[in-house]
Amino acid sequence: MSNKDHNSEPHAEHISSYREHFGTWVGLILLTMMTVFISVFGADLRTLSVATALLIASVKALVVGYYFMHLKYDPAIYRIMMGIVMALFTVFLVMVIFDYLTRN
């Protein structure tokens, strides 16, 4: 007996254009350059430097997820799941940083 397909749903395939792939790649390179610039060439952001690095890394992860991993073309449930994971991760960071900032 097999009922594996009883609630499967049609899933439209999407083939990204070279233009979109190239644009995503350029975006990631620019963001990487920005990270290097901030850390190496002395942009003095003090405590914000960690937050800035995390923000840039998060944007890069989103770009990869959205375009390279086709999250943009998938059903909304996957974006919601991704959002929950990101929110969870953010809470972890906030609570750890809260401990550091409130220590005597």
Q: Which stretch binds other proteins (CB under 8 A): 4-12, 35-43, 54-62, 66-74?
A: 4-12
Task: Establish if 76 lies at the interface with other proteins (CB under 8 A).
Answer: no
Task: Establish if 104 lies at the interface with other proteins (CB under 8 A).
Answer: yes
CA 80/CA 5 separation, integer angstroms: 24
Which CB, 44 or 99, lies closer to other proteins?
A: 99
Give me the long-range contacts of 29-38 (CB less than 8 A, separation at least 24). Answer: 31/56, 31/59, 31/60, 31/63, 32/60
Which CB, 4 or 46, lies closer to other proteins?
A: 4
